[in-house]
Amino acid sequence: MREIASVTINSTINHLFHFSFTTTNDNSGPNLDKLFDIIHEDDDLLVINKPADLVCHPTKGDVYSSLISRVRLYLGAAAKPSLVNRLDRETSGVTVVAKTPAVAGELGRLWETRMVEKEYLAIVHGHVREDHGLIDAPLGKDERSAVAIKDCVRPDGAAAQTEFWVERRFAGKPLTPVLSSSDGENKDVAKRLVEFTLLRLLPRTGRKHQIRIHLAHIGHPIVGDKIYGADETLYLALVERRLTDEQRAQLILPNHALHASAVRFVWRGTPVGFRCAADFRPLLDVI
């Protein structure tokens, strides 16, 4: 039986840092450190802190290439798990897994009632002026974009609401990365004092890319967002494997700074909540 342990280090930025580790009484079974961090596990549920840069469903044969394939590896070949909530590839955080089809159906019906509260943390560009607000803007397909999966705010779109609270406003040192250009000369990519805001967010609806679109809509895109940031061609460069060092410096982070920090719902008559802290150290190291 594996024992799960966790250590949380308090930070001035809303408990940002969290480290989980596992111990085992034997040397059998998969390496949990390589699979995922477990937040909670019982006979019906497995709740995971999904790492950034991991898809939920497989796109290639490697057993470590997707979250669901790692879950199957952990639970065994006979298991039939289902992901109850899915996060974008670059989004980290709380992911609920049903261990059986029956539990998946039960949780699926619960999710459809909109009685599930999901909380996120994000670091965005600029200082958000209001301490608290509600973004109410309908979403639909962005027909003008070269990115096929991109949506946007549009009047005829589906209703979407995102509530936010400012946790902290902060500024970093001027970003002056020195990169090598094609002709071998060094050049500065940016020289400006950068401002950021840490936000806590509660999506009141569950549209695709909702938080990312809403934050970009109010002029504060998430740091590292390749689709809804300042230049969507960065996403095209990424998928076509031609992202340059200069473009990576423009993004600041390899993955966007969005984390699913908590999920709360009533499970079989009992209120439950699962939480995991974000790891935004890569951004803090840069600024």
Banded pLDDT at 194 (limits 50, 70, 90): confident
Banded pLDDT at 33 (limits 50, 70, 90): low
Banded pLDDT at 188 (limits 50, 70, 90): very low
Considering only CA atoms, which of 256, 168, 147 is closest in space to residue 212?
256
CA distance 239 to 161: 30
Mean of pLDDT values over 30-50: 85
CB atoms within 10 A of CB 150: 19
Please state which of the ranges 49-58, 98-107, 214-223, 236-245 shows the lowest mean pLDDT: 49-58
88 flagged as catalytic:
yes
Banded pLDDT at 174 (limits 50, 70, 90): low
Q: Which of 33 and 99 is assigned the larger pLDDT?
A: 99
pLDDT at 62: 67
CA distance 134 to 113: 21
Q: What is the pLDDT of residues 156-165, one digit of tens each?
A: 999 999 999 9
Find the catalytic residue in 26, 42, 88, 225.
Answer: 88
pLDDT at 213: 98
Mean pLDDT computed over every residue of the chain: 83
Please state which of the ranges 43-52, 82-91, 171-180, 263-272 shows the lowest mean pLDDT: 171-180
- How big is the CA angle at 250 (ends 175 and 280), to the nearest 5 degrees? 75
Q: What is the pLDDT of residues 250-259, one digit of tens each?
A: 899 999 999 9
**pLDDT exceeds 90 at position 247:** yes
Mean of pLDDT values over 88-106: 96
pLDDT at 185: 41
Q: What is the pLDDT of residues 68-92, one digit of tens each?
A: 999 999 999 899 999 999 899 999 9
CA distance 72 to 85: 16
**pLDDT exceeds 90 at position 4:** no
Exposed, middle or buried, 76 (CB in 10 Å: 0-12/13-18/19+)? exposed
CA distance 60 to 80: 19
Report the run of H or E that residue 109 belongs to, with start and end.
helix 101-112
pLDDT at 65: 78
Longest dimension (CA), the chain: 66
Q: Which of 281 and 5 is assigned the larger pLDDT?
A: 281
CA distance 20 to 242: 34
Strand stretches in the chain, DSSP E = 3-9, 17-23, 37-41, 45-50, 82-83, 92-98, 117-125, 132-136, 139-141, 151-153, 161-171, 178-180, 186-188, 195-203, 258-267, 270-275
Q: Domains of the chain (ranges plus CATH)?
A: 3-286 (3.30.2350.10)
pTM given for the model: 0.82
Considering only CA atoms, which of 125, 85, 155 is closest in space to residue 252?
125
Beta bridge pairs of residue 164: 133, 201
**pLDDT exceeds 70 at position 10:** no
Q: Encoding tokens for residue 230?
A: 């300042």
pLDDT at 228: 97
Strands 258-267 and 270-275 come out as: antiparallel
Q: Which of 3 and 108 is assigned the larger pLDDT?
A: 108
